[in-house]
Amino acid sequence: MGLGYGQAQEVAQEALLRAWRHLGQYDPGRGSFSTWLFTIARNLAVDELARIARRPDGVHVDDLAEPPEAPWEGPEPQQALELDRRRRALHAALKRLPVADRGVLALAYLSELDIPDIARIEHCTAGAIKSRLHRARNRLAELLENQDARELR
């Protein structure tokens, strides 16, 4: 279970507002600005996920809309179809990962943060992050392999 696209946008906006309001509390001696900002965003996202889990309306976050797709300006149609199939398979596999695994993968690969910065954001050791990244990559690979095997049947 994760945040829908609109919810993620709201969390990001709130993180920027909180960072702006509390800019005087940022201490460069404790880490980079991006680490501080990601920590704020992570904490807000965790709070939002907990709030959603407590909702009695039965809305599942996975049922919420995905981000809008940009118009395709790329390779030939057959290549575009294959790339789109892979993108969808990756998205589906990522949705099946635990939130903690998705978080460390996003910080490492989407945000391109290094291990020490991720460890500060996640409030754990660099060794723990290395283990979590290794485990998350293995889980993701396994999910993708299982999806490929199902598609071949």
Model pLDDT for residues 95-147, shown as the tens digit of each residue: 899 988 998 998 998 888 999 999 999 999 999 999 999 999 999 999 988 87
The pLDDT, as a whole number, for residue 141 is 92
- Structural Rg of the chain based on CA atoms: 18
Domain around 92: 75-153
> pLDDT for 15-35, tens place per residue?
888 888 888 888 888 888 888
Record the tokens describing residue 3, joined without a space.
Answer: 């945040």
**Residue 92, number of CB atoms within 10 A of its CB:** 12
What band does 37 get if pLDDT is binned at 50, 70 and 90? confident
Count of structural domains, the chain:
2
The per-residue pLDDT of the chain, averaged, comes to 81
Cβ 2 vs Cβ 49: under 8 Å: yes
**One domain, residues 4 and 57:** yes
**One domain, residues 56 and 82:** no
What band does 85 get if pLDDT is binned at 50, 70 and 90? confident
**One domain, residues 81 and 60:** no
What band does 63 get if pLDDT is binned at 50, 70 and 90? very low
Distances (CA, A) of 84 to 2, 17, 87, 141: 22, 35, 5, 18
pLDDT at 50 over 90: no
